[in-house]
Structure 1
Amino acid sequence: MDKPFLDTVAHTCLRYALLPSGGTLLAAVSGGQDSVAMLLALRAIAGSNGPALQYVHVNHCLRGTDSDRQAAYVEELCHDLGIPGHTIRRDVIERIERTGESIEAAARAERMDAITAVRQEIGASVVALGHTADDRVETILMNVIRGAGAAGLAAMPARRGPIIRPCIETDRAMTGAFCAECGVTPFYDSSNRDVSHRRNRIRHELLPYLEAYHNRSVRAALLRLGDLARSEDGYMEEMTEAFLQDIPNEPEASIDLDRTRLAALHPALQRRVVRRIYERVTGNADDLGAAMVEHVVRAIRTAGIRRTWTTPSGVRFQVDQRLQCFRPVQHADRIDDPIELPVPGEVFHQASGLRFFAEPFRVGTIPSALDSHTLVLPAAMAVQPLVIRSPRPGDRLRPLGLQGSKKLGDCCTDRRIPVTARLHLAVVADKLGILWVPGVVADERIRVTRTPCDAIRVRCCRSM
């Protein structure tokens, strides 16, 4: 058996801690030589004491019967190897007609959606992709051509979240030789020679031209460029995360940042912050173009300007005294009907993205301060049922420590909460009115005046 290939894959898995010690390992198998070599290597490396190996194959339905034959090849190969798995059909053409994406982009999106769904269904901690160093070289060069930043040049890491690439330090010559030595003939996909696709043009035309006329070691040079970019990108990512450490890390949030603090950052870091908060609101930054990022950054650095932009997906950036990124809540989308919160029990409030938990609680000492994520309510002061709802016009409460009542809107103004962000607040109330608005204000009724006493503890967190 080809020891250099197996040794390289094993070393990569060990170096980057790619393989789980147990559970399920999902391998994405197209049937081509790279993914087949990866499957065979993982089967050999994991052995009987490692994670249980399963495969997933996505049939994009782009080549008619040829796509079906490829799916049948993968199913037969994995059956012979004793590897269980899943074949998923996805209609890429329908997606292209709906979104206007290129074939490559639509196929990639459908493939990753399907793979993620299978991974979550079977409880696999990671999914292995068969990318090699050659794929990485092509991706780096594509990103150079389109003017990508450091993140684009640092393409295809060995691990990113649940995605692992065990073969990323091997090349196609090694995967082909390994398949041949194992007596396995991979499925030949004729579309890989179609130079109407950008990646294929780079693979079959541009890279050979660069090697022949400019730099015989261009592949190694591009990999060095990628390694350098990854190091610098990693540092910038740490800086970005440090700046945003208090911002929720889940999609569907409304994010609001202090403009003055943001304007003090280096422009390179400002761009990353803008992209990152967009990712946290939408889940990804696929439709956020460089031009819009530059518009937002320029507005952040220009005193006295007030501007608003809306992305193709409907997410809005607003720059005034603060930078806000949010998905406008349409009237039809608002969840204004109260959701009853049982005690004990839990509910999810869609507009705020918060999950609430309630339980009986025995208070031993008087709380010294109000926790922004936890409410302790004396049971005698609650007129159940408790409900979770969105703010309403005219909402009033008696803020903790004040003598009279006050509009919730005025409390938000005092806390400098933008009107747009108030749509994403959650209100905890009972039959008598508001008890608590997490992160904003609590009513005087929550005050604990004696201990011990019976209480209701309500906690909230961003839903994962």
Structure 2
Amino acid sequence: RLVVRVRSFAAEAELLAPGDRVVAGVSGGPDSLTLLHVLVAIIPDPPGRLAVGYLDHGLRGEAGAEEAAFVGELARRWGLKFFTDRVDTQAYRRARGLSAEAAARELRYRFLGEAARAFGAGKVAVGHTASDQVETVLLNIIRGTGLAGLRGMRPQAPYPLPEFPDLCLIRPLLGVSREETLAACRALGLEPREDPLNVDRRYLRNRVRLDILPLLRQINPGVERAVLRLAEAAAADLSLIEAQAEAVLKEALVSRTPDEVVLRRDVVNARPRALRAHVFRLALLGLGTPEPPLTAYHLERLVRLAEGRVGGRLDLPAGLKAQVGYDFIRIGRGFGSLTGTEFPGVDRPIPFSPPARVRLNGWVLEAEVLPRPQDCDPRRAPEPWTVFADFDKVKGDLEVRPWRPGDALVPLGLGGRKKLQDIFTEARIPREVRPRWPVVADRLGIVWVVGLRLADRVKVTPDTRRLLGLRVVKG
């Protein structure tokens, strides 16, 4: 009966197509042993189309080698190609600053991806069950999640590592409970290997399974079914939202590599805020699934970053970073120095007298003198890239020059002096672009820190007769 159910589930979710080659990740536990048994039953010509992969993570001494031999014997019994390897998870974890869980997961999926490539397979099957789905949704709720986290795992999903873009991950047992996989192993006469790490309460998933779920069952004996219904409802709603988010992503996408994605800010910011988080989430899928995963909190911070000031930066899990330019937002790993035209820049002092246009590293400073209009409100805060000053309060000739260490001013609306270094830090201006950041100055000092602060001494008042208009534009 279990085989019939899984075959029906796989057909409905379109997990397997004629001619597909599959690598099954098998650990020796009840779930993966059941997975292997079912795949042998539902895939035609298993020896030609199904292979088995087992990775010894090097965490359990000889037990890992014994488990590898056990799984290898099962594969040989069915005439299946067997891939195995042993890795040092702890060394990998230390080298990359990951948790043990995240390191083991990354190593496992890389091993299975390489096995699939060697076997000519386009799909990797894993033994996640409905019980795992319940734990995953609860974990996501604990960490803080949106609809994607409530949906939990999908029957078919993009491969978790970006270096395998042509692979997909399938979960044929997602409609089967852990109790059913244990019963299936008993019925088949299989003796699953139990991993002692599965009862180690240092891992959050184990605490959810061993401590939190039993408490929830006391409140609602059917809590697992309730959580699964929640996941199904979230999946239905999310399918509609993701279709819209995919269209926005297609329009906004400037470039994508395995390590970085660049999006147009104007396209993303023109959409409702609720949709933008999903655009960012889908954009990040091509960079692999970070561990710990991005939560609704991280996605909301990305939305705010994209709305904010040029130069804003954000650190995300797993070494991901985001930064905002004038036109684009970049998200990825290993950003180099910002040497392009994302920010205005100047290498030397350039004198000017309005009206004037001064080029600043792909940007233009425009300056003009205007009569003060009757409806000019001196209390109105200046815009980031356009300001108005009292021209008659400017002393001597004007110049635009690079920032100098020790530069300071009394910013508009602030009672005391402030160093530019502190202004840059508060505005999250990247350190590598600060030395060339343009400053408009007169004989007395700074008039305007471009895009950031106007000096209080040149502010517009009711007595102002002439305005100095300063604007910086891209182009």
Fold-level match, TM-score > 0.5?
Answer: yes
1:55 to 43, 52, 56: 52
The residue number in structure 2 matching 1:104 is 101
Counting only pairs closer than 5 Å after superposition, residues 83-102 of structure 1 correspond to structure 2 as: 83-102=80-99
Contact 2:146–2:295 (CA under 8 A) maintained in structure 1: no
The residue number in structure 2 matching 1:202 is 208
**One-letter amino acid of the counterpart of residue 96, structure 2:** T
1:153 aligns with 2:150: yes
1:232 aligns with 2:229: no
Secondary structure in 1 matching 2:112: helix
TM-score scaled to structure 2, two decimals? 0.63
**One-letter amino acid of the counterpart of residue 28, structure 1:** G
Instruction: Indicate how the Cα distance of structure 1 residues 188 and 144 shifts in structure 2: closer, same or farther if over 3 A, else same.
Output: same
**One-letter amino acid of the counterpart of residue 311, structure 1:** D
Q: In the TM superposition, what is the alpha-carbon distance from 1:324 to its structure 2 partner? A: 4.5
Counting only pairs closer than 5 Å after superposition, residues 30-41 of structure 1 correspond to structure 2 as: 30-41=27-38
Distance 1:119 1:207 in 2: 35
Cα-to-partner distance string for 1:51-81 (whole Å, 9 max, x where unaligned): 6211000111101111111112111222223
The residue number in structure 1 matching 2:269 is 263
1:169 aligns with 2:166: no
Cα-to-partner distance string for 1:120-147 (whole Å, 9 max, x where unaligned): 2221011111111001011111111111
Q: In the TM superposition, what is the alpha-carbon distance from 1:155 to its structure 2 partner? A: 1.4
Same amino acid, percent of matched pairs: 31
1:309 aligns with 2:313: yes
Contact 1:257–1:324 (CA under 8 A) maintained in structure 2: no
Distance 1:48 1:328 in 2: 45
Instruction: Indicate how the Cα distance of structure 1 residues 325 and 177 shifts in structure 2: closer, same or farther if over 3 A, else same.
Output: closer
The residue number in structure 2 matching 1:441 is none
Cα-to-partner distance string for 1:172-229 (whole Å, 9 max, x where unaligned): 22111211221211112222222222111111221111102x1111000000111111
**One-letter amino acid of the counterpart of residue 16, structure 2:** L
Instruction: Indicate how the Cα distance of structure 1 residues 283 and 199 shifts in structure 2: closer, same or farther if over 3 A, else same.
Output: closer
Distance 1:189 1:239 in 2: 42
Cα-to-partner distance string for 1:231-280 (whole Å, 9 max, x where unaligned): 12222211111012242565345524142x43331111112223444444
The residue number in structure 2 matching 1:115 is 112
Secondary structure in 2 matching 1:202: helix
Distance 2:194 2:39 in 1: 21
**One-letter amino acid of the counterpart of residue 26, structure 2:** V
Q: In the TM superposition, what is the alpha-carbon distance from 1:47 to its structure 2 partner? A: 3.9
Q: For structure 2, which runs of at least 5 residues remain unmatched after alignment?
A: 159-167, 340-360, 364-429, 431-475
Counting only pairs closer than 5 Å after superposition, residues 376-395 of structure 1 correspond to structure 2 as: none
Instruction: Indicate how the Cα distance of structure 1 residues 275 and 90 shifts in structure 2: closer, same or farther if over 3 A, else same.
Output: same
Distance 2:197 2:265 in 1: 50
Distance 2:46 2:302 in 1: 52
Secondary structure in 2 matching 1:235: helix
Distance 1:286 1:199 in 2: 14
1:217 to 212, 222, 228: 222
Counting only pairs closer than 5 Å after superposition, residues 130-149 of structure 1 correspond to structure 2 as: 130-149=127-146
Contact 2:133–2:228 (CA under 8 A) maintained in structure 1: yes
**One-letter amino acid of the counterpart of residue 297, structure 1:** V
Instruction: Indicate how the Cα distance of structure 1 residues 277 and 182 shifts in structure 2: closer, same or farther if over 3 A, else same.
Output: closer
Distance 2:226 2:302 in 1: 34
Contact 2:31–2:127 (CA under 8 A) maintained in structure 1: yes
**One-letter amino acid of the counterpart of residue 271, structure 2:** L
Secondary structure in 1 matching 2:230: helix
1:11 aligns with 2:17: no
Q: In the TM superposition, what is the alpha-carbon distance from 1:17 to its structure 2 partner? A: 1.8
Secondary structure in 1 matching 2:264: strand
Instruction: Indicate how the Cα distance of structure 1 residues 323 and 192 shifts in structure 2: closer, same or farther if over 3 A, else same.
Output: closer
Q: In the TM superposition, what is the alpha-carbon distance from 1:82 to its structure 2 partner? A: 2.2
Contact 2:51–2:119 (CA under 8 A) maintained in structure 1: no
Cα-to-partner distance string for 1:89-121 (whole Å, 9 max, x where unaligned): 122101221223222222111111111111122
The residue number in structure 1 matching 2:185 is 179
Secondary structure in 2 matching 1:245: helix
What value does the CA root-mean-square deviation take over the aligned residues? 3.1
The residue number in structure 1 matching 2:380 is none
**One-letter amino acid of the counterpart of residue 177, structure 1:** A
Matched positions, count? 333
Distance 2:174 2:55 in 1: 21
**One-letter amino acid of the counterpart of residue 79, structure 1:** R
1:193 aligns with 2:209: no
Distance 2:300 2:116 in 1: 37
Distance 2:52 2:65 in 1: 17
Larger Rg: 2
Q: In the TM superposition, what is the alpha-carbon distance from 1:18 to its structure 2 partner? A: 1.3
TM-score scaled to structure 1, two decimals? 0.65
